[in-house]
Amino acid sequence: MTREALVAGEALIDLIPDRPGRLANVESFSRRAGGAPANVAVGLARLDRTPWFCTALADDPFGSHLARVLDREGVPDDFVTEVPDSRTAVAFVSHGEDADREFTFYRSEAADRRLDTSVVGDDVLESVEVVVVGGVTLTVEPARSATFDLVERARDRNCRVFFDPNVRPELWETEPTPTIERMLSETDVLKVTREDLEGAGLPTTTAEVLAAGPDAVFLTEGGSGARLVADEGSRWAAGEWHHPGYEIEDVVDTTGAGDAFSAGAIAGLVDGDDPDGILGFANAVAAASTKRRGAMAALPDREAVAELRDGE
C-alpha cells in the first residue's frame, strides 16, 4: 500500500494527573498513550493520511497497551518491533493552572532507546514523500545512529525530512550541539517552538536555522498562532507567512498541541497546500486538540477541524 509519510520514533505512556499543580501533590493519574512521533502518526491517521510508523515497543504490559492503541487507530505495524527485556518509557505530565505542562521522564532500559530503523526498506522510502523524526531518539545510542541511518537513506531517495527537536535537555546523555547540528544539515522542514530555540544545541533565530540546513521552518507561538519561514530552496521560494491561530475557550490540556500541529502541517505538505492553507489547517488541528485531556486521545479528525475553521 502506498503512503505519503513515514514517522519514526518513540511511543510511551503519559501519566496525566487528576488535578493541576505540582506532581508532589497529585494522588492519582490516568494512563494515556503518548510519545511525540506516536502522536503524530495517530494524528495523521485521524486526518485520513495514515502513515507508516517505525517504533520499538517493550514486551511489558504498557507495550502491549500501546500496540493495541496503535492497532485501534489504524496505524500499520509493519515496522513496529518488540524489544525483549525492555520497559516502556513513562512520562508524568504536570499541568499548571493555565493548562500548560511539564514532563518528568522515567526511561531507564526503555524500548525506544533501541529503535531499529533497518526494518524500513529502501523501497518503502522510495514510495513516501515525507519522513518524520523527533529529537528524543537522538538523545541516546543506538537510537541516535538508527535515526540518522533512516534520514540519510531517505534523503538519498528524495524524501523530505521533517524534524521536530522536541527539546528535552534532561534526556541527553551526551553534548547535544554536534548531534543537533548534524540533524539540521539533514533536515528539509523544521518545526520548533520559541522555547526550542532557547534549548540545547539549536540556533536562536529562524535565519540561523535556515542557514544550518532546512529550507522551511514552522515556528509555533502558542496563543499567537504560528508562522512559516522559507528560503529560496523551498517549494514556495523565499517568504514568511503567519496565521494568528484560534481562540479556544476553556482550554483543558495543551499536552499534545505541538504534535497535533505537526500532524496538520505534514498533512498539508503531502496535500500540496500553499503556506496560508497549511498554517490555517495546522493551527486548527492544534487548537482542537486542547479541548480534551491526553495528547493522543485529544487529536481531532477532519470533521472537528472543519467545524473549528467554519468560524474563521
Q: Which amino acid is at 96?
A: G
Distance of CA 171 to the CA centre of its chain: 16
Provide the 10 A C-beta neighbour count for residue 118: 13
pLDDT of residue 167: 82
pLDDT of residue 99: 42
Residue-level length of the chain: 312
Tell me if the pTM is above 0.75: yes
Do residues 269 and 189 touch, judged by C-beta distance below 8 A? yes
Question: How far is it, in rounded angstroms, from Cα 180 to Cα 287?
Answer: 29
Per-residue pLDDT tens digits for 139-172: 999 999 999 999 999 999 999 999 999 888 888 8
SS3 of 193, please?
A: strand
Bridge partners of 90? Answer: 13, 106
Identify the residue whose cell numbers are 532546512: 214
SS3 of 229, please?
A: strand
Q: How far apart are the first and last CA of the chain?
A: 36
Residues of the chain with pLDDT under 70: 1, 21, 95-102, 200, 311-312
pLDDT of residue 96: 55
Q: Report the side by side order of strands in the sheet with 90-95.
A: 29-34, 12-17, 90-95, 101-106
